[in-house]
Amino acid sequence: MAKTIITAALTGAVTPAGYNIPETPEQIAQAAYECWKLGAAIVHIHTRHEDGKGAMNTKAFAEIVKLIRSHEDCDVIINCTSSGASVEHPATDEERYLHHMTVPGIEMGSYDAGTFNWMPAAVFMNSPQFLQKLGDAYMEKGIKPEIEIFDAGMLGITDYFVKKGHLPAPCHYQFCLGVLGGMPATVENLLYLKNHIPADATWSAFGVGAGHLPIMYATLALGGHLRVGMEDNVVFGKDENGNKIMATNQMLVQRAVEAVKTFGNQVATPAEAREMLGIPQLNMADVRAKLGLQ
């Protein structure tokens, strides 16, 4: 029976305040633990400034990782962003991956494979020079890149850095559909991306906002893995009167688990996900010791 990996993207950098978004390290770590208990094999971590805006806060990343690993039973894969800055709290290229180089226990890192206009707010900058440094940093630390693809041209950029030796193969792709400025969240676009990655690659996908459910179900049909969470979607659905039902990370993970099972697949455990993605199995005692938990 096929295994499906569920990633919970808990916070993000641009989802506005006022929803059920975990923002403090304590809130984020607790949400990560609860989503793991529900079936998420991976948690995708962002940090926020005290004002609630996205920020690349190495101290907060370290605190979140430590809080998650304070649960001795929690073997969830920890995936930290490299793109959590905001207009209010910009970051240098080096600050975008400093936590990956210095915080023990981070197993995956996002790799946004190109620059585009993130409408209407700003240009999302990922220069060739930055992407080369980021790929090299991940390879040095043994961190699995999560290649985030917002538009088709980013597939070629990824191929370039793989061929130049700045990204490891096989790659794991995350198709990010529905951001204004990138590819719309359509099944046609998802199929195109899926059909233009290497045969040995793994892939996952999500649709922002209203694209959430169509992309989730199409991803299952096409053999991919799922990402859900408050970074990408704040509305769970509508009640019988047409009123919006606001989401939580836990609600979104639980629905993804039910969809996987209904489809006839099994939800991958973190250990199974590590094997599928080529990530070394977790040595919990070693990681906890490095984090000062033992």
Q: How many domains is the chain built from? A: 1
Query: Which residue, among 46, 41, 129, has the nearest Cα to 84 in the 3D structure?
Result: 46
Number of residues written out for the chain = 294
The predicted-structure confidence for 92-126, as pLDDT tens digits, reads as follows 999 999 999 999 999 999 999 999 999 998 999 99
- Does residue 56 surpass a pLDDT of 90? yes
The predicted-structure confidence for 269-289, as pLDDT tens digits, reads as follows 999 999 999 999 999 999 999
Query: Which CATH number covers residue 171?
Result: 3.20.20.70
For residue 18, name the pLDDT band (cuts at 50, 70, 90): confident
Neighbour tally for 253: CB within 10 Å: 27
Which residue has 């793989």 as its token pair?
Answer: 162
DSSP the chain: --EE-EEEE---SSSPTTSS---SHHHHHHHHHHHHHHT-SEEEE--B-TTSSB---HHHHHHHHHHHHTSTT--PEEEE-S----SSS---TGGGTHHHHHSTT--EEEEE-S-EEETTTEEE---HHHHHHHHHHHHHHTPEEEEEESSTHHHHHHHHHHHTTSS-SS-EEEEEE--BTB--S-HHHHHHHHTTS-TT-EEEEEE-GGGHHHHHHHHHHHT-EEEESTTT--EEEE-TTS-EEE--HHHHHHHHHHHHHHHT-EEPPHHHHHHHHTPPPP-HHHHHHHTT--
Q: Give me the amino acid identity at 210.
A: A
Neighbour tally for 281: CB within 10 Å: 10
- Does residue 60 surpass a pLDDT of 80? yes
Distance CA 10, CA 32 (A): 7
The predicted-structure confidence for 217-248, as pLDDT tens digits, reads as follows 999 999 999 999 999 999 999 999 999 999 99
- Does residue 17 surpass a pLDDT of 80? no
Q: Read off the pTM.
A: 0.98
The predicted-structure confidence for 83-100, as pLDDT tens digits, reads as follows 999 989 999 999 999 999
For residue 20, name the pLDDT band (cuts at 50, 70, 90): confident
Which residue has 């059909």 as its token pair?
Answer: 195
pLDDT for the residue 283: 96
pLDDT for the residue 32: 98
6 DSSP β-pair partners:
226
- Does residue 15 surpass a pLDDT of 90? no
pLDDT for the residue 4: 99
- Contact residues for 89 (Cβ-Cβ < 8 A; gap 6+): 49, 53, 54, 55, 56
pLDDT for the residue 205: 99
Range(s) of the domain holding residue 286: 3-290
pLDDT for the residue 207: 98
The predicted-structure confidence for 189-202, as pLDDT tens digits, reads as follows 999 999 999 999 99
Q: Mean pLDDT across the chain, nearest whole number?
A: 97
- Contact residues for 33 (Cβ-Cβ < 8 A; gap 6+): 68, 71, 74, 76
